[in-house]
Amino acid sequence: MQNSFHSLQQDIAYGFKYLRGRLGLVGLLINFALANFMLNSTSVLSGPLVLSTADAGALGIVQTAMGAGMLIGSIVMSAWGGPRRRFHGVLGFIGLGGIGLAIAGLHPSATVIAAGGFLLLLCVPLASGSSQAIFQSKVAAAVQGRVFAIRTMISRYMLTLAYASAGPLADRVFEPVLRDPASALSRTIGGVIGTGQGRGMGLMSILGAVALLAPTAVAYANPRIRNIEDELPDAISTLPETALPGGTVAAEA
């Protein structure tokens, strides 16, 4: 049991060490983790957002639109394979998904929320597929399990953090502020997106979109991330193997 735990520690340490030597992948991983947090911390509130002003039937329509977006995006990605420059696919579709997130928060209408949710979920498989393709092509096959495990671990952690923080932020911060007609936000942005029940969650969607687009712009401005497909060579599984701690081996990428 102790040996297994020690081996696990070595695998995790090597996965992080492998990534640290490839800063473009680290930057892409951080950007996608932030995007994952912002998308999930606001999209998880789509149900309460709709039900704050509409009925269960409207919620069903919104969820159908969002599911259709995910399905269509997955089919398009499978048939198309993504853009030739996968980096543009990652950041471009994250940015487009952010626009969908902002649309969903603009107006207390199930139709508007459905349109924004459709665009958001349409972009998720397109961005995720492009990111996955970069990692699969740039990470040596022999260490993909360790590196991808770290990638999944970070993704799941951000998902949990997003779900845990969304409710308290909505209930204790944003909803009370936009239900109070005397608050500064109600007298300013409330004049654009409305005030009252559900508008705090709408504001969260808009702020989430801004917080999503900001790191995307930063990532695009970073040459180590922007040029990742040119600077990092494609992994070739037939390269000489180098012994790793614990008796495992990996091909040098």
pLDDT tens across 25-70, in order?
A: 999 999 889 888 988 888 899 999 999 999 999 999 999 999 999 9
| Average confidence (pLDDT) over 195-217 | 93
Tokens read off for 217: 């712009």
At 248, the pLDDT band (50, 70, 90 cuts) reads very low
Render pLDDT for 60-105 as a digit per residue (tens, 0 to 9): 999 999 999 999 999 999 999 999 999 999 999 999 999 999 999 9
- CATH node for 2-251: 1.20.1250
Lowest mean pLDDT among 25-39, 128-142, 225-239: 225-239
At 130, the pLDDT band (50, 70, 90 cuts) reads very high
Secondary structure (DSSP) of 187-238:
HTTHHHH--STTHHHHHHHHHHHHHHHHHHHHHHH-HHHHTHHHHSPPP-TT
CB-side exposure of 250: number of CA atoms within 13 Å? 20
What pLDDT score does 4 carry? Answer: 63
What pLDDT score does 245 carry? Answer: 39
Phi and psi, residue 234, nearest 5°: -65, 140
Render pLDDT for 171-188 as a digit per residue (tens, 0 to 9): 999 999 999 999 999 999
Tokens read off for 95: 């940015």
What pLDDT score does 49 carry? Answer: 95
Phi and psi, residue 108, nearest 5°: -75, 60
Render pLDDT for 154-171 as a digit per residue (tens, 0 to 9): 988 999 999 999 999 999
The identity of residue 112, as a single letter, is: V
Q: For helices 23-43 and 86-106, give the axis angle rounded to 10 degrees.
A: 20
Phi and psi, residue 85, nearest 5°: -90, 100
What does the domain layout of the chain look like in residue ranges?
A: 2-251
Percent of the chain clearing pLDDT 70 (strictly above): 91
∠ CA 102-152-89 to the nearest 5 degrees? Answer: 50
What pLDDT score does 171 carry? Answer: 95
Q: Which residues are bridge partners to 251 per DSSP?
A: 241
Percent of the chain clearing pLDDT 90 (strictly above): 69
Whether the model clears a pTM of 0.75, i.e. scores above it, the answer is yes
244 pLDDT more than 90:
no
Q: Which residues are bridge partners to 242 per DSSP?
A: 250
∠ CA 108-112-113 to the nearest 5 degrees? Answer: 75
